[in-house]
Amino acid sequence: MKATINDVAAHAGVSIKTVSRVINNEPSVRPATKKKVEDAVEALNYQPNLAARNLAGSRTYTIAFIYDNPNAYYVIDMQNGILNACKARGYELLIHPSNSKSASVHDELKNLVEHSKVAGIVLTPPFSETPAVIETLQDLDVDYVRIVSKTADVKDQDNCIQVDDSTAAFDITRHLIGLGHKRIGFLCGGEEHISTHSRLDGYRQAMKEAGLPVDESLILKGEYSFDSGVQGAKALLGTDNPPSAIFASNDEMAAGALFAARLMNVDIPSQLSIVGFEDSPFSRQTWPKLTTAHQPNNEIAKCAAALVLSKARGKTSGENASASKEAGIQREFTPELIVRDSSGSAPGN
C-alpha cells in the first residue's frame, strides 16, 4: 500500500506539518529533524503529489538532467544518482538528452527552463564544459551544477563537482610502468571532452617522471566508443614496433581494444596489457577483466543534484549562498586504480 504523509510523520516521530515543511524545503527546520524526515521518506518510498505542489505556486519541484553521451552505463549511473537525491528531497527528475553539437541547443535550454519550470539543472560533459551553454543558463537565471574535469578553467567553482582525471590517469600509467612497460599506447576519447585532455596529461606526466620518452606516434585520436577502441588498437598493433601496453580513455574503448587484440591473436596480458578508465560494467564483462580507475558516477551525480537543490532552496527561501550549502556534499572526486587481470608484466620482464 502506498505510503502517506501520515505514515512518514509517524515513522519519523514528528508532526505532519514538519514533514510538509521538509518536503517543501522550507527553511528553519533543524538539520537533525530534516534528516529523520528524509530517512523516513526513503524508508517508506513516499512519493508526494508533485504535480499538485507545482501548481500550488510559483515554486517548482523538478530538476533537469541534460546530457549528450554515447555511453549508456554512464547515463544510467548519473540518472540513478540524481534520482536518489531528488527522492530524498521530494523532487522529480526531468531527463533531457540533447545533441551538444546542434545549433539549436541554446533554444532547447531556453524552452526547457521557460516551459518546464525546472528548479535547477545538472550538466554533464560536454555541456558542462561549454562556456556558451553556461552563459545561456546564467542569462536565464536558473540554478545549475556542472560536473567537470578538475583541470577545466573553472570560474564558477561553487557550481561545480570536479573529477580529477589527470591524477587517476597518472596512477594508471604509473601502474603499467611499474610492470616494466616502456612503450605504452594511449587511445584518446572525443576532443570536445576536457576529461580526454586531462587523462592524456596524466599519462604524459607519468611517462616523463619515469624518464620515459613520450612517443607521439603511440597517441591516437578517437571517440569514447567500442568501435574507436577497436580501430585504435588495430592501428597501434599493426606497426613495426607496437606498444606492450595500451591505455584506453574509457572502459568501452578498452573493451574494443581487447576485442581487436583477440582478432590479431595477441594474448592478454602476456603479450599486451590493456587498461581502461571509469570502472563501468564493460570492465567486468570482458575476459580478462579490465584494470581501470573506479569513478563513482552514481555518487558524483547524487552530490551534483544535492548541490543544485541546495542552491534552488537557498534562492527561494532567501538564504545567502553560504547558508544554503548542505553538509556532506563532496565537491571533488579522484577515481581510484582497480587492478585486474588485463594488466601484467611487460614481455621479457
Q: What is the pLDDT of residue 56?
A: 43
Rounded distance, CA 151 to CA 195, Å? 8
Give residue 73's domain range.
54-163+297-332
Residue 277 has pLDDT above 50, yes or no: yes
| Overall average pLDDT of the 168-189 stretch | 98
On whether residue 343 sits in a domain, the answer given is no
Domain match, 192 and 282 both: yes
Average pLDDT for 219-235: 97
Residue 283: inside a domain, yes or no? Answer: yes
DSSP structural state of residue 34 = H
pLDDT band at 163; cut points 50, 70, 90: very high
Residue 205, Cβ neighbours under 10 Å: how many? Answer: 17
Cα–Cα dist 283/295, whole Å: 12
Residue 259 sits in the same domain as residue 321: no
Q: For residue range 45-58, list pLDDT tens digits in order.
A: 887 655 444 444 44
Q: Would you say residue 218 lies in a domain?
A: yes
User: Is 346 a member of any domain?
Assistant: no
Please check whether residue 127 lies inside any domain of the structure. yes
pLDDT value of residue 218: 98
Model-level pTM? 0.79
pLDDT at 81: 95
Strands (E), the chain: 62-67, 92-97, 120-123, 143-149, 160-163, 184-187, 219-220, 245-248, 273-275, 292-294, 332-333, 336-338
